[in-house]
Amino acid sequence: MSAADKGLSLPLFQRLLLCGHRPYMLHEQYRMHPAVAEFPNGHFYNRFMSDAVHPSERPVPQGFPWPQPYIPVCFIDTSGGVFEEQVDTSFKNRREASEAVRALD
């Protein structure tokens, strides 16, 4: 039996809205560097989200060759093989962890 057969063809948040729940959008975020928050703010929040922390309070970590020096975001290509190991309800991927460590060395 598929998810659609069980009435699960709509995403959870759409189902909640259809049941009368009112959405609540984040207005101020504290966790991300403002440069990182730029993408979700523009694509999901229509630029209504503000940063509670100034970029000077979130310095870019030193010691890594960031592709863009003032933006603490880097994508590491780990393609070429996926290996996940399940431990209880968690998953771990030693290959991806090794790639991340190698990028930092």
Segment 27-34 mean pLDDT: 93
Q: What is the pLDDT of residues 73-87, one digit of tens each?
A: 888 888 776 767 788
Distances in Å between the Cα of 4 and the Cα atoms of 11, 21, 27 are: 11, 22, 34
85-87 vs 50-51, strand pairing mode:
unpaired
Shortest CA distance to 104 belongs to which of 71, 68, 63?
63
Q: What is the pLDDT of residues 41-82, one digit of tens each?
A: 999 999 999 999 998 888 888 888 888 888 888 888 887 767
Q: What is the pTM of this model?
A: 0.58
